[in-house]
Amino acid sequence: MNRYRFITSAVLLTLAVSLILVSCRDGGTASGKGREVELRYATHLTMEEHDGYTVASIRNPWDTTKTLSTYLLLDEGAAPPEVAPGVQVVNVPLRNSVVYSTVHIGLLEDLGATDAVAGVCDTEYIFDPEMKRRLSSGRVADCGQSITPNIERIIGLGADAVLLSPFENSGGHGKIDQAGIPVIECADYMENSPLARAEWMRFYGRLYGNSAIADSLFAETERQYLSLKELASTSTTRPKVLMDRIYGQTWNLPAGHSTMGRMIEDAGGTNPFGEVEATGSLQLSPEKVLMQAGDADYWLIRFAYSNLTLASLASDKELYTRIKAYRDGNVYGSNSSESHIFEEVAFHPQWLLGSLISILHPELEQPDKPRSYFKEIE
């Protein structure tokens, strides 16, 4: 319900202003050229609006000299223009989509587009109450795991699009491509800052016919995020922050140009691997992490389901006890099955930023009570 309060209070205040700005910019399409949608943060997405359709282009995050996908979002009832080879035509608004990524489910609820979701993947990681009810009732289909989806079920649903997170050298989408179902490649997770990723909601808003809500939602998200960032910058200390823990033989940590890496810095902290100019996660050996981040002042761990205690961490890996934050009792955990951290913060980064500031700089008074995504581990 907090999500809806956010929309009805903050978003509606900016909606009228956004519509006025759009109407002022919308001066026609002389010589057939569209109206570029101004994106202030997103680096892998461009959009150009035309009468009756929008062209959206996604840059390849792994080779920025190339385009990953180009879509022509055709408005209902509009006449389709000539389409260049390789451009996917997507009839919008979507009404019967399949969503592989749980990250996008919460956003679609914000956009009032939950009814347009016919199927989802990775249901064990879905904690949104409304979506769980729809799964239980059969109103939304379980389409298996995102890495091995039930293609026959997706085709049987008559899906009008599939939203998925692309991976480098994935080699296409097999039967989905053959079935002629548009594949929307959600490369937002490869952006290099929290606001850059969140700005992709404006693309998803156009997919589901709710562009005005999406534009206003992002405007308010940006305002709140920048305000909190400015507050954190007033702190005189910048504690070092270590993220997550070992899985298998590696420790996945945020690079300097990743969304989480940038958020740590924006919260007035120091990312031990901030000098690594890369997006996404770094896969490092535990020994290297201990060498470079063993003196971390705070240790924040994201996990699911199982209870986490200082004793269980020590029992799991003796190496953990050598981390300064462990010895000082500054270990915080976010149980995603309770906190909904993965479903909420990708497109509401200000909520996580406020939570981080409350941990790293509790002396700073925030304008609103911050959400408690992380709790102290004892």
At 142-197, the pLDDT tens digits run 999 998 999 999 999 999 999 999 986 666 677 888 888 999 999 999 999 999 99
**What tokens appear for 130 in the block?**
């409304």
Superfamily classification of domain 235-376: Nitrogenase molybdenum iron protein domain (3.40.50.1980)
Cα–Cα distance measured from residue 187 to residue 71, given in angstroms and rounded to the nearest whole number: 14
**Burial class of residue 227, CB neighbours in 10 A (0-12, 13-18, 19+):** middle
> Mean pLDDT score of the chain, rounded to an integer?
90
The residue type found at 203 is F
Phi, psi of 325 (to 5 degrees): -60, -35
**H or E element, residue 241:** strand 241-243
Using the predicted structure, report yes or no on whether residue 28 has a pLDDT greater than 50: no
pLDDT for 304: 85
Using the predicted structure, report yes or no on whether residue 302 has a pLDDT greater than 50: yes
| Mean pLDDT of the 304-331 span | 95
Cα–Cα distance measured from residue 159 to residue 55, given in angstroms and rounded to the nearest whole number: 21
Residue with tokens 């997507």: 90
DSSP 370: P
Torsion angle defined by CA atoms of residues 253, 58, 10 and 375, in that order, rounded to the nearest 10 degrees: -10
pLDDT tens for each residue of 91-102? 999 999 999 998
Cα–Cα distance measured from residue 120 to residue 159, given in angstroms and rounded to the nearest whole number: 11
Whether the CB-CB separation of 135 and 29 falls below 8 Å is answered with no
Whether cis (ω within 30° of 0) applies to the bond prior to 149 is no
pLDDT tens for each residue of 32-67? 579 999 999 999 999 999 999 999 999 999 998 999
Cα–Cα distance measured from residue 49 to residue 207, given in angstroms and rounded to the nearest whole number: 13
Cα–Cα distance measured from residue 141 to residue 123, given in angstroms and rounded to the nearest whole number: 10
Q: What is the pTM of this model?
A: 0.89
Architecture of domain 2-28+92-222: 3-Layer(aba) Sandwich (3.40)
Cα–Cα distance measured from residue 126 to residue 110, given in angstroms and rounded to the nearest whole number: 16
pLDDT for 370: 95
**What tokens appear for 108 in the block?**
């679609």
Cα–Cα distance measured from residue 267 to residue 281, given in angstroms and rounded to the nearest whole number: 19
221: left (phi over 0), alpha (psi -120 to 50) or beta: alpha
239-244-248 Cα angle (round to 5): 145
Cα–Cα distance measured from residue 29 to residue 6, given in angstroms and rounded to the nearest whole number: 35
Using the predicted structure, report yes or no on whether residue 29 has a pLDDT greater than 70: no
Most confident of 24-28, 29-33, 126-130, 239-243: 239-243
Residue spans in the chain of domains classed CATH 3.40.50.1980: 2-28+92-222, 235-376
Burial call 7-37: b when 16+ CB within 10 Å, e when fewer: beebbeebbeebeeeeeeeeeeeeeeeebeb
pLDDT for 1: 47
**Burial class of residue 64, CB neighbours in 10 A (0-12, 13-18, 19+):** exposed
Whether the CB-CB separation of 270 and 211 falls below 8 Å is answered with no
| Mean pLDDT of the 278-297 span | 95
> In terms of DSSP H, where are the helices of the chain?
2-6, 12-25, 103-110, 129-137, 151-156, 175-178, 194-198, 201-207, 211-232, 259-266, 286-293, 310-316, 324-328, 336-339, 341-344, 349-360
313 closest CA partner among 242, 238, 264: 242
The residue ranking higher by pLDDT, 235 or 305, is 235
pLDDT band (50, 70, 90) for residue 308? very high
